[in-house]
Amino acid sequence: MRKTVLTIWICAVFAVASIGLLPAASWAEPKGTVIMFHAGSLSIPFEAMEKAFKERYPKIEILREAAGSQACARKVIDLKKPCDIIASADYVVIDKLLIPSHADWNIRFASNQLVLCYTDKSRHADRVNEQNWYEILQEKDVVWGHSDPNLDPCGYRSLMALQLAEKHYGIPGFYEAVIANRPQENIRPKSVELVSLLQTGNMDYAWEYRSVAVQHGLRYITLPVEINLSDYAFDDFYSQAVVSVTGETPGSFMDIRGQSCTYGLTLIKDAQNEEAAIAFLDYILDPEGGLKVLDEMGQPPFIPCRVPTAEMKAKIPVVLQDKVEVRD
Amino acid sequence: MKVREPFFWVTISSGAVIMLFILVPLVEMLTAPSLTQIMETIGDKHVVRSIRLSITTALSAAAISFVFGTPLAYVLARTDFRGKRLVESIVDLPIVIPHPVIGIAILSVAGKNHWLGMILADLGIRVMGSVTGIVIVLTFVGIPFYVNAVKAGFENIPSRLEHVSRSLGASMFSTFFRITFPLARRSVLIGFVMCTARAISEFGAVVVVAYHPMIAPVLIYERFEAYGLKYSQPVAVWLISVCLILFLTLRILTMKSEKSP
């Protein structure tokens, strides 16, 4: 009798133990490197996400490269650089350049807004405010700049904000007058580069995303919602702004219409480490994971994240599908 | 036939590996664009302007290095003093500092947050986004090459020639200009070429200080980012060709001056 009890007991222990072991055996932990190209304005939140993610998956190495969003796409298309994930400061870049040749879907995961940054050393820092910034930018001794509209979405968005300011405040000719006070030398390839110009006192005011201003501890002026491109409910108003940027070949141009700042995320089709990349995407899209980090760093996330159509949702890896909703 | 030792074959094969290592990517890049693309590119006034700016700023940097670097090279070659090693290491510093760091360092003294930047601003001199800024950066990265080449040249001139000149009553100035400098002419020219070459190839430090006006390497980068490889390669082909012609001419000039005396 005692023997039987013992046998049953031992069997039970083994059974429980093997149930415990079973998933561990069949579920191999993803490992290896994940290569990610992302917009310069995402550098700081992704650095924090990478750290937190590595605690969950110590065997995965995330290699990140920051560049202008368009340049990120170029690295994949032209240079054929191996890449798993692309995060763009404008989801349109993914639609325009990567789908359908290099990617199948495009998740909108965060928004942002434009602000005018300055430091306490900037000229007229003591008196600049929401009511007079557009006058200060027209003053001769003020050095202000934005990033290159041909390379960086923040660049054309800065110009759009100025065009919208002309409409919103009702000052005819404002856009041309203010641009005339911004020599070409004040343009930089990426908006984040303007931060060091502000901090070293080479520039007084610079157009940035609010997230960049928060992350770098810069002072900034919050602009009216009609100007700052933050809310897609205002997309109709934003679309009045049109900026001409360089097209496919030197000398050709195309028009970009104003739209709210919406960030896009995609997985490259022939990703070299799809399994680990999906694990990272799963973390990024998690409201308690990556999206929380974004929120803390001044980049309001969409919870849940969005895709425009049900067809596109069907193309997303199954494990990620419950983290997105279909919403135009 | 003479039997070669294995050592000979080791030297030959490693030499061949290095030649291929350098030439294969360059030849690939030079031959990738079609002739029509190359011809179209040189009709683009932005390209012509950027190449011209690259050459003039690099030559200016070399000229500044010549004026300020020659006396320093002479002092380092001829005298021994406490802290000479330190001075030599400082001269070499720009070679080891990462290029963007050089750009940031220069910007941080040129801004209004620094007394030097304040003085420059009062004088109306602008470093950020100006030709002045580009020349400053290129001089910074090029000057070690000039000083080191010329120092080696001065060291090879026997100092007894100078002693003879001095003992015959020539001043230090006239000894330098009539004896030492003419003898070191070749190393001065080599230093000049090295400095120009280093300056013309600089990208990382320049793009931090001045994106516009664009020197050729910055334009190549901008073309690549905005339009892709197809439109950046032809510009690179022109830059390389112009540089090759420039340096070949300088080489030929040196060879001539070598024979003439």
> What pLDDT is attached to residue A26?
44
Task: Mark out chain B residues that contact chain A at CB-CB < 8 A.
Answer: 44, 46, 104, 107-108, 110-114, 117, 126-130, 207-208, 210-213, 221-231
CA A229 to chain centre: 14
Residue A248 at interface with chain B, using a CB cutoff of 8 Å: yes
CB-CB contact of B239 with B214 (8 Å): no
Give the closest of B104, B210, B222 to A185, CB-based: B210
CB-CB contact of B30 with B237 (8 Å): yes
> Per-residue confidence of chain A (328 residues) as pLDDT tens digits?
556 666 666 655 555 555 544 444 445 788 899 999 999 889 889 999 999 999 999 999 999 998 878 888 888 888 888 999 999 988 888 988 888 889 999 999 998 999 999 999 999 999 999 999 999 999 999 999 999 998 888 999 999 999 999 999 999 999 999 999 999 999 998 888 899 899 999 999 999 999 889 888 999 999 999 999 998 789 899 999 999 988 777 778 889 899 888 899 999 998 989 999 999 999 999 999 999 999 988 888 998 999 989 999 999 999 999 999 998 7
Contacts of B221 in chain A (CB under 8 A): 189
Domains of chain A: 32-111+262-326 (3.40.190.10), 114-246 (3.40.190.10)
> What pLDDT is attached to residue A11?
57
> What pLDDT is attached to residue B5?
86
pTM reported for the whole predicted model: 0.76
Q: Min CA distance, A70 vs chain B (Å)?
A: 7
C-alpha distances (whole Å) from A66 to each of A38, A108, A152, A191 are 5, 19, 12, 12
> What pLDDT is attached to residue A24?
44
Contacts of B110 in chain A (CB under 8 A): 200, 202
> What pLDDT is attached to residue A169?
94
Contacts of A183 in chain B (CB under 8 A): 129
CB pairs under 8 A between A and B: 84
A90: phi then psi, degrees, rounded to nearest 5 = -135, 115
CB-CB contact of B37 with B234 (8 Å): yes
> What pLDDT is attached to residue A209?
92
Scanning the structure block, which residue is given the tokens 């969409």?
A302
Torsion sign, CA atoms A259, A262, A268, A272? positive
ipTM of the complex: 0.73
CA distance A287 to B181: 72
Q: Which of A323, A300, A302, A326 is nearest to A313 (CA)?
A: A326
Which residues, in sequence order, are CB contacts of A175 under 8 Å at separation 6+?
A162, A163, A165, A166
> What pLDDT is attached to residue B259?
53
Quickly count helices (H) and strands (E) in chain A: 14, 14
> What pLDDT is attached to residue B261?
43
The residues of chain B scoring below 70 in pLDDT are: 1-2, 256-261
CA B225 to chain centre: 26
